[in-house]
Amino acid sequence: MRWEQQRVTAPGSAPELPLDLPEVGAERGSGRAGLRMPEPVPIEAGTEDAYAIEVHARSIINRVPGASHVPFRWTINPYRGCGHACRYCFARRTHTYLDLDAGHDFDSKIVVKVNAGSLLRKELASARWAGEAIAMGTNTDPYQRAEGRYGLMRQIIAALRDRANPFSVLTKGTLILRDLDLIRQAASVTDVSVAVSVGSVDERLWR
């Protein structure tokens, strides 16, 4: 897997998520060795088939390619893959870059950048960072189920607030309500945009 060398493997780092398991990369015919999947330990109760693959990311603020016709230049994606399992998600094909498939693997094998918060503080403090707006939720939902376990968005929003760095969040996860305090604090010092994707036309249901 592309990030195999970035896995969190320190003893005691995540005892509930064993990672030292038989290789399965060859089964995908990718020709790349070293893909090791964790046991099916649930990210949350009721999601027994959802795996968490913990990695230490080397960077967290991503530049959007100039050819992309989107109204932002920078993004943060604390997760790869998404437990919402929306069949229409355009980000599915990005899982194939990790030697995982764009179907069930995308829905259940979630790459977690466990150092996202501390890494973001470092990158925001760099003299090379110009303080441009950062978009979140443009690839996979930052408030998917895994966020309930890892709490990366609280760290990320706090870091953006402390640097008064503008940002936007797009989500369909109600877990964003947990972070309203931080979002309000950030909005008092910089530009903040929050958008919610509603998966139903039934007003009673989505309310």
What's the confidence (pLDDT) of residue 28?
29
Other Cβ atoms closer than 10 A to 52: 25
What's the confidence (pLDDT) of residue 118?
97
Q: Which of 10-14, 93-97, 151-155, 193-197 has the lowest mean pLDDT?
A: 10-14
Helices 152-162, 116-124: crossing angle, 10 deg rounding = 20
- β-strands 51-55, 74-76 pairing: unpaired
What number is the average pLDDT over the span 19-42? 33
What's the confidence (pLDDT) of residue 48?
53
Which of the four pLDDT bands, split at 50, 70 and 90, describes residue 13? Answer: very low
What's the confidence (pLDDT) of residue 2?
52
Which of the four pLDDT bands, split at 50, 70 and 90, describes residue 200? Answer: confident
For all residues of the chain together, what is the average pLDDT?
78
Tell me how far apart the alpha carbons of residues 25 and 8 are, in angstroms, rounded to a whole number. Answer: 18
Contact residues for 95 (Cβ-Cβ < 8 A; gap 6+) = 80, 81, 101, 102, 105, 106, 109
Q: Which of 70, 198, 178, 76 is nearest to 137 (CA)?
A: 76
Tell me how far apart the alpha carbons of residues 18 and 110 are, in angstroms, rounded to a whole number. Answer: 14
Q: What is the pLDDT of residues 50-72, one digit of tens each?
A: 788 888 999 999 999 877 778 88
Q: Which of 187, 100, 180 is nearest to 140 (CA)?
A: 100
Q: Is 90 exposed, middle or buried (0-12, 13-18, 19+ CB in 10 A)?
A: exposed
Highest-scoring range by mean pLDDT, 42-51, 76-85, 134-143, 176-185 = 176-185
